Amino acid sequence: MRVISLHTILFLIAQRLVIAVPYYHQRSRFTMPAFLRFARDDEDISSIRDEVSKSPISLVVAVASFVPRSKSLLAGIQKLENEYDSGACCGPSDASKPTVIVIKTDESDELEELAIELGLNDVPSYQIYRNGVVMGASERAADVTVDKIRSQLNSAAAATTTTAGACCPPSSSSTSCCPPSTPSTSCCPDGSAPTDAADILKLVQKSYANTVNGEEGCCVSVQPEMLGYTQEQIIKAGKDANLGLGCGNPINFANIQKGETLVDLGSGAGIDCFLSADLVGEEGSVIGIDMTPDMIYKARQNLSKRGMKNVQFRLGEIEHLPVADNTVDVVISNCVINLSPDKPQVFREIYRILKRGGRIGISDVVIRPNKAIPQNLKSAEALAC
């Protein structure tokens, strides 16, 4: 296997450099708005469903402190309460206020798994219920806005009433339930257009979720022997951790040492994390990062079977790593960075979390000069593999 030097990587980045503001991870605490509550670690899906079934209208939101938009989203939801109090939308009655439950997915594994069980796979994401039945939900994290939530809350409330005070009046009505100062914003569904980067991430996430769930799949199963794994490594990792989605074996040249902290970008079902765990030893730690909730769920299932105490899996995007500054000795990645729509940002994040003298071990695909990509590999589905 050919090792790509850091100099070569930085050169490739320079060829396609875009201006972006570096992201610095700060684990922030959210202020609790008056009419919402935060889900607890000991709650399960049954208790949440029971609560929303008892409320005419409910909103369940999944957020994470490492996603900057989450804080502003909750602040916006808090302001919605003022609209209910003033009668701007569904009237001043407390009875008309929705039940709002916020799941902070990065607070614990239990809360993250609760969000996944409910179907809140993105961060941020939301679901709106009417008497326990889902009436609306976010399709993509990029589309989650306070205006969209207001719109769907109003639509759900309108379905429960035939009075003139319904939240989304007929189109012939001159009355709007939105404040006069924002005439261009409708509180009824608007269908905002997505960005290209979000589309890419969503496609990758869906493709890998299909793979891990055994559904119509992406590009599966390359034999691990062909990627540089030894028979001993294959047996040690276990069949359940190997989905055949890599394009090499970064462990072979990452020079992993005892006591180090290692981060795996795009950890999948956990194969490279489990193999790295023995190399860092009990005094070291391994952190797997993946943006696909189904993959995180699968990896944690695999981890529970192995009983390893020095491995953990976190939900997050490699462009915004849920890892503190200057805390990592080595970063590895196996055929994942090529999927990112913002590769320079990925390397800025790697630089941010690495300690001085830290290193990277990457197996990936790059475009060779004067070599054309075959036409059958240029489709979005192929690039998501």
pLDDT digit string, tens, across residues 25-49: 333 333 333 467 899 999 998 889 8
pLDDT digit string, tens, across residues 208-264: 666 656 655 544 455 555 567 887 888 887 777 777 677 888 998 999 999 999 999
Query: Quick check: pTM over 0.75?
Result: no
* Sheet bearing 328-334, strands edge to edge: 311-315, 285-290, 261-265, 328-334, 354-363
Give residue 312's pLDDT.
95
CB under 8 Å to 250, separation ≥6 — which residues?
272, 332, 333, 334, 361, 362, 363
Tell me the mean pLDDT per 10 residues along the chain, length 385. Answer: 47 37 35 67 89 88 89 85 57 62 91 88 88 79 85 73 37 38 35 51 64 54 61 79 78 93 93 94 95 88 91 92 94 90 93 95 77 58 48
- Cα 95 to chain centroid distance, Å, stands at 34
